[in-house]
Structure 1
Amino acid sequence: MTTVLTLESVQLAFGMQPLLDGAELRIERGERICLLGRNGEGKSTLLRLITGEMTPDAGEVSVPDGVRVAVLPQELPEIRNRTAYNVVADAFPETARLLDEFQALSMSAGDGGDLNRLQVVQERLEELDGWRFDQRIRTTLEQYRIPPDVSLDTLSGGWQRRVLLAKAMVTEPDLLLLDEPTNHLDVPAIRWLETALAQFSGAVLFVSHDRAFIRAMATRIIELDRGRLSSWPGNYDRYLEAKEKAIAEEERQRAEFDKKLAQEEQWIRQGVKARRTRNQGRVKHLQAMREERRERRERSGTARIQVEDAGRSGKLIAEAIGAGFAYEPDKPLIQDLELTLMRGDKIGLIGENGSGKTTLLRLLLGELEPTSGEIKRGTRQEVAYFDQLRGQLDPEKTALDNLSEGREFIEVNGRSRHIMGYLQEFLFTPDRARSQVRVLSGGERARLLLAKLFSQPANILVLDEPTNDLDVDTLELLEAQLVEFPGTVILISHDREFLDHVAGSVFFLDGEGGVHETIGGFSDWRREGGLFPTEQPAGKAGRSGPASGTAERSANDKPATPRNNKLSYKYKRELEQLPERIRGLEQEVEDLNARISTPDFYEGDPEEVQQVLGRLSQAESELETAMERWVELEEMAG
């Protein structure tokens, strides 16, 4: 196996608190590793060390000669009025600059241009293999179904992220780094990303708190906890089981240590006679134990989330009767809506980006009136809103000022609470509480918004992508509080596991105006045959991506195939055989995942482990190709 990254005894500290304390890590080609850790532990900092943006205080971060590292950044680019081709070309800045210069010099050569400079540029391009540059970019864009001339500012967040992944992949990296890659993606885009990464032969190191994504992708878990990196072979569920045992063992050892320390402290405080005869070696041992206890780094606390209850709303929250809404005449975003929302219901809204989820939410809350039909609304409604863009936070104010609004105390659940004490329950130290919001991490901003949200009396909670940037511990606590909340909860989320745990029913917006209810969570919707438009057979697909300029097409589009309502014998035979092949591949993928999930899988022969993982990746790729071919032939058949 080929090593693509090594960390040896890496130290890094900001102030007195070490973010990395003797970190050790080795990554081999073909691994897909999830980096876990609570918000503020230093995960993004570790990625910056690997890319060379930062240098450690001590130790070594080593990338072997010839190993290429590429990054899919967490944030989308601020300058978006550029074509997809230009963005991907930025992966080769020197080559792109030289080609532009070569073209300019070539045009001016006949007018007495600088022929010497032209020759220098040409020679350097040959050294860089720059003449293949254009072909590589266009091939990669075609592979990801991205038109080269499409402008980035006409694309959704999911398609912009697809362009950035193309930029990373065009360099043919050996190690790909991803920081929260599923943020702001809808479920079809997440599924596409999972497929693309499964087909990638290099190593992947990703930071994510999307548990379904981690389960689908990770072959190993790396955890950053109190400055230490620990490795957990196997999938996410195996990690959870092993981690629970490790925490219990750590607590047992600490309890034994503290008991012994208490006994030694009692001995040292004995009377005069004992002090005259005490063992100096034992005294030194006690001093060492005290020092060890002082240096012990406790596990980060867990956020304490409690919802401020505003009292019961009316029994009816909203009832839609044949309701519809259109921003433009003859282009309904929602039509013929029949829906009843009662006090205490917990619902999830799912659908591709642009399908109308936010519009439906505003209709239910009375922020919009239907353009057809009727929506009745209940009484005594107090709404608290969690905004996925964190727009309710002033980036120039401190976390403290954002919450306090000039007050020293706030009232939460009938109790007067000091602002600083309340923020500490959401894991803000005094220093971080006095920091401007613009310097806070994404996870810290999410926790601050939750603190602000839950300090407001409410009987209806509206959460728009609340899981972005939250660490798993805080996520699970939020789930528990939402389940226990006596009021009404409306979720917009692409986090499949979060919806499964919280929602009592989900409403799917199909992008054609229809809203369809399923009792249960996301998995229940799937089990009942739920598909997004981009997963539908031909003729039923909805809008999902760009074709050129601002136009859109299916995420599974392939180069245009001539339509023929009567298939040839060869194509007809292929179409007849595909369902059986698809079923066989689905069964193989299921069997391989079951094999990988066994406790002793990663303890076997390393070569056999890699063969199984490689076959899983290949089978998933073959399944995706077979599904696309089936859609294509169905369309040809009309």
Structure 2
Amino acid sequence: MPLLNIDNISIAFGAEKLLDGASFQLDPGERVCLIGRNGTGKTTLLRLLTGESLPDGGEIWRQPSLRVATLAQELPADTTATVFEVVAGGLEGLGALLAEYHEAAAQLAQDHAAEKMQHIERLQHELEARDGWRWQQRVETVLSRLQLPADTPLAELSGGWRRRVLLGRALVCEPDVLLLDEPTNHLDLETIQWLEEELLAFRGGLLFVTHDRALLKRLATRLLELDRGLLTSWPGDYANFLEKKAAWLETEARHNAKFDKRLAQEEVWIRQGIRARRTRNEGRVRALLALREERRERRERVGKASFELEQAETSGKLAIEAKKVSYAWRDEPLIRDFSVRIQRGDRIGLIGPNGCGKSTLLGLLLGRLTPNAGQVQTGTKLEIAYFDQLREQLDPEQTVLDSVAGGRETIEINGQRRHIISYLSDFLFTPQRVRSPIKSLSGGERNRLMLARLFSQPANLLVLDEPTNDLDLETLELLEELLLEFTGTLLLVSHDRAFLDNVVTSCLVFEGGGRIREYVGGYSDWLRQRPAPEAAVAAAKPKVEPKPAVPPLKLAPAGKLSFNERRELERLPARIEQLEQRQQDLHALTAAPAFYKQEPAVVARQLEELRALEAELETAYGRWEELEGRG
């Protein structure tokens, strides 16, 4: 029995139909990837399935009491809500109660006043009546699996960590149907791999939109394509889809050519004048009118994007050289004793978890930040074009045309002058769309606009910080081809594994404690070459990268370890392991439904032990990183 079914759905915005008689069903255990170009209506379809939007025609059927969870494409605005409150909010009707209880328990651990005791007892009774303890444990489990800091305000987290929080909110209610819109955007590689495993184990129905080909290939049991209002199902993997789709388009082109030839012949016949009118066949006339209507309603496939990069004069052979560079933020080393020599033509990928310092490293290499120690030398004749992952360079009130043209009517690309509207059409912006304000663009359209601006600048050093977010698969593959043809130097920050494999020649990998190591090849090559995990690895922690305007802090001078420090370093892994085991035990204890039914003094004592243990563990991590870095 299907979980949900749509039958002959249609919806239009203005004169354009985003869905035209679309039908499909989602069964339990299916993992369906919805693909299509940016702006074709994929997000609209997801909104129809959740009930946020209503179709113009057709029917949507859902199983009774169906639980549907979604992951929105856009990150939430800054909010004072804590991570626990946001995740628990995924439990409709119960989330607010759990958040209130979580806050009350934290207050009780600090203050045993009688009114606080009465308040928490009332909450306990209400949770028992609503089976709240099971869901309390579910929230704690999700927070633990995603390594989320429960009491941190969402506003203090980086974009990648906010994305994790939204994933937790979607997963916490154990949905029957999970709808994910670009789930890997802003996630680091470690979290993407965790997400893959979580979704592979999901037993409900999954419908997801993604540009991540590695995720698509591993997860999808079939593909659903939205193209010119038509929804078609393609069993098999992505490679099979590309082959079958190419054959389908070739057949469509032949059919259209035959149709157009027949229509042209009939148009000649109807215009033959007196002789034709004497022998006019009224049935043939009606058939011609029908042919005209069919041709009028035919939706032509939008042309492919066509990127061309304005290349600057060739730079010197040496692009950038860093020697023993170190940089710290709030006494925490982000980059330690880093050296690299980047030659003209190198294509280098930066790999590491969110907040590790990738954007900081770019700032140091480009001279936007000053290192605490060491030096950075740039080569001669460098012309830099920078792609900003947060799209801060776009003015939302400007039109697409003004954003690129700046008042000009023409633009010069590699010595050839082109009209600005013609240039923007290469990035799939129609003459009508180029006059739209940037604030009305989808995420994919904004990315294409950023690329249009970027490629209009002469450059021999291209810096791309997460350029693949929100791009459709076709545009993504075209961008790969362009970068492979680029003769200058490329610095690329990306969490797209296939993109890294296809584009870069080497990777700079953040390995913890400020250490960065270079590996030849792409992402898959790094996986084969990287060393085995060490006995103790610092736990992932949400971090906020430094702002360039804040003066950097100086690193303490590094020296050799003393005898006692070497002994301390040898013992720390075992101590960390003991602390982590006790931490796991306490987490399991506090997550149990019966935990808060104990005497308040016992509850407060165990919560205090957990907080003290976590502080000690963090201190041990920091000491281990410090000694390891000096050893």
- C-alpha distance in 1, partners of 2:495/2:83? 25
1:90–1:258: structure 2 CA closer, same or farther, 3 Å change rule? same
Structure 2 residue 84 is matched with structure 1 residue 72: no
Map residues 157-306 of structure 1 onto 2, 5 A cutoff. 157-270=159-272, 272-306=274-308
Secondary structure at the residue paired with 2:386? strand
Answer with 418-427 or 382-391: which moved more. Answer: 418-427
Question: Which residue is 2:604 aligned to?
Answer: none
- C-alpha distance in 2, partners of 1:200/1:405? 49
User: 1:148-207, CA deviations, whole angstroms, 9 ceiling, x for partnerless residues?
Assistant: 334334444333323322222222210011111100111111001111111111111111
Question: Which residue is 1:463 aligned to?
Answer: 464
Structure 2 residue 85 is matched with structure 1 residue 86: yes
- C-alpha distance in 1, partners of 2:332/2:124? 54
Matched-pair contact (CA < 8 Å) for 2:91–2:172: no
Answer with 480-489 or 410-419: which moved more. Answer: 410-419
Number of equivalent positions: 538
The offset of 1:492, in angstroms, is 0.8
Question: Percent identity over the alignment?
Answer: 54
User: 1:397-423, CA deviations, whole angstroms, 9 ceiling, x for partnerless residues?
Assistant: 221222222333333333333332322
Answer with 194-203 or 329-338: which moved more. Answer: 329-338
Question: Which residue is 1:538 aligned to?
Answer: 535
1:259–1:151: structure 2 CA closer, same or farther, 3 Å change rule? same
The offset of 1:87, in angstroms, is 1.2
Residue type of the alignment partner of 1:94: G
The offset of 1:35, in angstroms, is 0.7
- C-alpha distance in 2, partners of 1:308/1:51? 44
Secondary structure at the residue paired with 1:94? coil
Question: Which residue is 1:319 aligned to?
Answer: 321
- C-alpha distance in 1, partners of 2:100/2:153? 23
Q: 1:560 aligns with which of 580, 585, 591?
A: 580
The offset of 1:503, in angstroms, is 1.0
Structure 2 residue 486 is matched with structure 1 residue 485: yes
- C-alpha distance in 2, partners of 1:192/1:326? 30
Residue type of the alignment partner of 2:373: S
1:314–1:101: structure 2 CA closer, same or farther, 3 Å change rule? closer
Unaligned runs of 5+ in 1: 112-117, 548-552, 564-638
Unaligned runs of 5+ in 2: 109-113, 116-120, 544-572, 584-631
Secondary structure at the residue paired with 2:290? helix
Answer with 2-11 or 93-102: which moved more. Answer: 93-102
User: 1:601-632, CA deviations, whole angstroms, 9 ceiling, x for partnerless residues?
Assistant: xxxxxxxxxxxxxxxxxxxxxxxxxxxxxxxx
User: 1:324-372, CA deviations, whole angstroms, 9 ceiling, x for partnerless residues?
Assistant: 1213597543233332212222221112222322222223222234333
Question: Which residue is 1:607 aligned to?
Answer: none
Question: Which residue is 2:41 aligned to?
Answer: 42
Answer with 125-134 or 200-209: which moved more. Answer: 125-134
Matched-pair contact (CA < 8 Å) for 2:88–2:99: no
- C-alpha distance in 2, partners of 1:462/1:219? 36
Question: Which residue is 1:407 aligned to?
Answer: 408
The offset of 1:270, in angstroms, is 4.0
The offset of 1:57, in angstroms, is 0.7
1:37–1:558: structure 2 CA closer, same or farther, 3 Å change rule? farther
The offset of 1:427, in angstroms, is 1.3
User: 1:481-515, CA deviations, whole angstroms, 9 ceiling, x for partnerless residues?
Assistant: 11111222211111111111111222222133333
User: 1:116-175, CA deviations, whole angstroms, 9 ceiling, x for partnerless residues?
Assistant: xx99x9999777544644344334434444353343344443333233222222222100
The offset of 1:448, in angstroms, is 0.7
Secondary structure at the residue paired with 2:315? coil
1:131–1:465: structure 2 CA closer, same or farther, 3 Å change rule? closer
User: 1:414-468, CA deviations, whole angstroms, 9 ceiling, x for partnerless residues?
Assistant: 3333332322221112332222212210001001111111111111111110000
Question: Which residue is 1:385 aligned to?
Answer: 386
- C-alpha distance in 2, partners of 1:208/1:411? 34
Residue type of the alignment partner of 1:484: E
1:537–1:235: structure 2 CA closer, same or farther, 3 Å change rule? farther
- C-alpha distance in 2, partners of 1:559/1:244? 57
Secondary structure at the residue paired with 1:430? coil
Answer with 256-265 or 328-337: which moved more. Answer: 328-337
- C-alpha distance in 2, partners of 1:377/1:101? 55
Question: Which residue is 1:22 aligned to?
Answer: 21
Map residues 494-505 of structure 1 onto 2, 5 A cutoff. 494-505=495-506
Matched-pair contact (CA < 8 Å) for 1:510–1:542: no
TM-score, scaled to structure 1: 0.78
Matched-pair contact (CA < 8 Å) for 2:70–2:170: yes
Residue type of the alignment partner of 1:340: R
Residue type of the alignment partner of 1:413: N
TM-score, scaled to structure 2: 0.79
Secondary structure at the residue paired with 2:478? helix
CA RMSD across the alignment:
3.1
Residue type of the alignment partner of 2:198: A
1:319–1:270: structure 2 CA closer, same or farther, 3 Å change rule? same
- C-alpha distance in 2, partners of 1:296/1:88? 46
Residue type of the alignment partner of 1:164: L
1:284–1:453: structure 2 CA closer, same or farther, 3 Å change rule? same
1:279–1:124: structure 2 CA closer, same or farther, 3 Å change rule? farther
Question: Which residue is 1:56 aligned to?
Answer: 55
- C-alpha distance in 2, partners of 1:130/1:335? 47
The offset of 1:258, in angstroms, is 2.0
Residue type of the alignment partner of 2:463: V
- C-alpha distance in 2, partners of 1:530/1:476? 31
Secondary structure at the residue paired with 2:349? strand
The offset of 1:545, in angstroms, is 3.1
1:358–1:136: structure 2 CA closer, same or farther, 3 Å change rule? closer
